[in-house]
Every structure is written in structure tokens, then in C-alpha cells.
């Protein structure tokens, strides 16, 4: 299969396709992080998206791109929670059946919300790879259309609309800190941002516990990693050994990849709440955490993406009360 990257024209088409279906989320200055980093820092509040994360963008673009016959068949996906929520919402809006397959590592608050949106939920195994096997079965046996959480051009193009919004709102941005998991978000944002401003830096942020894309980039090819419990649960899972899109786009477009400890992620969650008055999940806080830990030292105006706010509130209370430092 010939590699065809997602382009700015694809992302602009996605933006037109999902107009009115997603929110152009605000970008706000962060006084506290500006003082810490020594450069202007802005927060892109994507956790205020309709379903609580950026995933609605890619899911909405993918569903809107389906043919009438494909919509009739229904959609299926493996998810660590947020993609499933976004796809469930997008499918319900279009009157399309949705089946979401998840591992036992997905927090219950995300599972229950997907059920509330009317999707069929299947809990399979202890990893994203286990859940993907059930997706493959449903595609083969029931004819459902797979909408992957990241390695799909329509999904990556939908996520890339964030990159356009960032440079519209902060045209002097020199660095973007973006969550890195399967790579759909990072690849999409980097494709948009670098097409509009070639010298901008896009840095992927992930956790030390099971960072599949970082391991794959280091190896020069997609590799398997053990999926481990982490505060940044939305960043868990592999990138697929047969990855067709996001691995190569991340390899070509990302300027750096930074990994965080669990304690650093917890500190990011606490800072988001205490200083910014924003409640974000672990994955949503990794950009903040990278600045706090001095693992990223930007030289100019920086935009930090807060990607999701679908945190288990019991966990949030535990962390902000200082009990999560050893998580």
C-alpha cells in the first residue's frame, strides 16, 4: 500500500464537513505557565469539546464521510474511552449503529458514558490489541465498518482541524505541545500547523508506561509494547504493527517526543486544577506536566493542548488532595 499523508487540503475539507458539529474551542493565556516557562504560554481548551475530548472531531469527520450503505451497516471501533465516546455521539447524531470494544483497563466513567450515548459496548481482554481482535471479528462476521481511533485519514484530518484553529487564534505560536498515543492527533495537528507555518515546532508528549509510538519511532518501525495502567489512560494501547499512516507522519513531522513519569502527570493534573481552574484527565495534562518538569523548554510563544477532561472524579479528588503522587 502506497503511503499517502494527510494534507492541509484534507484537513480544510474536514473542517467544512464537521462545521456546526464540533466546537471551535477557546485558546486562553496561562499566567502561571508563562511565568514558569519564561515565554508566553496559551492553553487550547479542547477538553471543553462537546464529548469532553478532541476525539469528536475525527469521529465526526469519519462518520460524515461514510457512504449511505456504510451508514446502514453501522460502525465499530476499539477505544480507550474517548474515541468511543466521540464515535458514539457522532453515530447517534447520524442515526448509525455503533459498537465500541474496550479492554478492562478503560475507566468505568468512560464506559458508562458510551453506554449512555446508545452504543453497544463490548469489554474484551486486558489491552487495546485484545479489543481490536473483537473489532476485526465484527467487521468480518457482521459487516460493520471499522472507524479506527487514529490510523485512518478521515480521523487524522478531523483531529488536524485543531492545528488550524491554534494558528488562527495564536498566529505567533512557535511551539505546540500535543498528546502522543496512536498518532492521529499529533500527526493531524502537525500536518496542519507545518503547512501553515513550516518553522513551527510540534512536540509529542506521552507517558513512560507503555508509550507505543515512542518505542516504535526509536525502533524505526511499529513495535508491540506492554499496555500498563497509567494516569494517562487515554494514551494507552499500541499503534498497530500494520500501521498505514500515523507512524510515518509522526516520524516525518514531529520535532521531538517527551515521556513523563506518573508523578509528573499527577503534578500536571493538580496544576491544571489549582492554577488554571481546569479539570482534565491525565492525558489532557501531559503538556502542562512537561513544562512543569522542564522536559520541554520552549524559546517562543507556546500552545499547550488540553485534550480531554473525562477523568474519574474520585481519582481527581485523590490526586488534587495529594494522595496520587506515587500512582
CATH of the domain at 212: 3.40.50.1100
In this structure, is residue 253 part of a structural domain? yes
Q: Which of 80, 112, 146 is the last residue of a domain?
A: 146
Task: Classify residue 76 by burial, with Cβ atoms within 10 Å: 0-12, 13-18, 19+.
Answer: buried
Strand ranges (E), 127-251: 145-146, 175-179, 201-207
Are 311 and 218 part of one and the same domain? yes
φ/ψ of 146, rounded to 5, equals -80, 130
Q: For position 325, what pLDDT does the model report?
A: 45
In this structure, is residue 272 part of a structural domain? yes
Q: Give the C-alpha separation, 146 to 131, whole Å.
A: 12
Q: Is the pTM of this model over 0.75?
A: yes
In this structure, is residue 325 part of a structural domain? no
Q: For position 135, what pLDDT does the model report?
A: 96
- Of residues 76 and 316, the one with the higher pLDDT is 76
Are 235 and 287 part of one and the same domain? yes
Domains: count for the chain: 2
Are 224 and 244 part of one and the same domain? yes
Q: Which of 116, 146, 176 is the last residue of a domain?
A: 146
Q: Identify whether the C-beta of residue 187 lies closer than 8 Å to the C-beta of residue 6.
A: yes
Tell me what percent of the residues of the chain surpass a pLDDT of 70. Answer: 97
Are 294 and 240 part of one and the same domain? yes
- Of residues 319 and 237, the one with the higher pLDDT is 237
Are 169 and 109 part of one and the same domain? no
In this structure, is residue 176 part of a structural domain? yes
pLDDT in tens, 11-37: 999 999 999 999 999 999 999 999 999
Q: For position 87, what pLDDT does the model report?
A: 97
In this structure, is residue 327 part of a structural domain? no
Are 74 and 195 part of one and the same domain? no
Share of the chain residues as helix, strand and coil, in percent rounded to the nearest 5: 50, 15, 35
Are 115 and 232 part of one and the same domain? no
In this structure, is residue 3 part of a structural domain? no
Q: Which domain holds residue 118?
A: 56-146
Are 230 and 315 part of one and the same domain? yes
Q: Does 246 score more than 50 pLDDT?
A: yes
Q: Identify whether the C-beta of residue 185 lies closer than 8 Å to the C-beta of residue 306.
A: no
Are 286 and 270 part of one and the same domain? yes
Q: Which of 146, 165, 193 is the last residue of a domain?
A: 146
pLDDT in tens, 158-174: 999 999 999 999 999 99
Are 23 and 85 part of one and the same domain? no
Q: Does 327 score more than 80 pLDDT?
A: no
Amino acid at each position: 500500500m502506497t503511503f499517502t499523508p494527510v494534507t492541509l487540503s484534507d484537513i480544510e475539507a474536514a473542517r467544512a464537513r464537521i462545521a456546526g458539529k464540533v466546537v471551535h474551542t477557546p485558546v486562553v493565556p496561562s499566567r502561571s505557565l508563562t511565568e514558569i516557562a519564561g515565554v508566553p504560554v496559551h492553553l487550547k481548551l479542547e477538553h471543553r469539546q462537546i464529548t469532553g475530548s478532541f476525539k469528536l472531531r475525527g469521529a465526526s469527520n469519519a462518520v460524515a464521510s461514510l457512504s449511505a450503505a456504510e451508514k446502514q451497516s453501522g460502525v465499530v471501533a476499539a477505544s480507550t474511552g474517548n474515541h468511543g465516546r466521540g464515535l458514539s455521539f457522532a453515530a447517534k447524531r447520524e442515526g448509525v449503529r455503533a459498537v465500541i470494544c474496550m479492554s478492562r483497563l478503560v475507566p468505568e466513567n468512560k464506559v458508562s458514558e458510551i453506554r449512555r450515548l446508545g452504543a453497544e459496548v463490548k469489554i474484551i481482554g486486558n489491552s487495546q490489541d485484545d479489543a481490536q481482535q473483537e473489532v476485526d471479528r465484527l467487521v468480518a462476521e457482521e459487516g460493520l465498518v471499522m472507524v479506527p481511533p487514529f490510523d485512518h485519514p478521515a480521523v487524522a484530518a478531523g483531529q488536524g482541524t485543531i492545528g488550524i484553529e491554534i494558528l488562527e487564534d495564536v498566529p505567533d505560536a512557535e511551539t505546540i505541545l500535543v498528546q502522543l498515543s496512536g498518532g492521529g492527533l499529533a500527526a493531524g495537528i502537525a500536518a496542519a500547523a507545518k503547512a501553515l507555518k513550516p518553522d513551527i515546532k510540534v512536540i509529542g508528549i506521552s507517558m513512560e508506561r507503555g508509550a507505543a509510538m515512542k518505542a516504535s519511532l526509536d525502533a524505526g518501525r511499529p513495535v508491540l509494547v506492554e499496555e500498563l495502567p497509567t494516569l494517562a489512560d487515554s494514551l494507552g494501547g499500541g499503534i498497530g504493527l500494520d500501521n498505514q499512516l500515523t507512524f510515518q507522519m509522526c516520524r516525518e513531522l514531529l520535532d521531538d517526543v517527551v515521556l513523563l513519569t506518573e508523578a509528573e502527570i499527577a503534578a500536571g493534573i493538580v496544576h491544571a486544577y489549582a492554577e488554571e481552574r481546569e479539570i482534565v484527565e491525565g492525558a489532557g495534562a501531559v503538556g502542562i506536566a512537561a513544562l512543569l518538569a522542564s522536559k520541554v523548554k520552549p524559546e517562543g510563544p507556546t500552545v499547550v493542548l488540553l485534550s480531554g477532561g473525562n477523568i474519574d472524579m474520585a481519582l481527581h479528588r485523590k490526586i488534587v488532595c495529594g494522595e496520587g503522587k506515587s500512582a
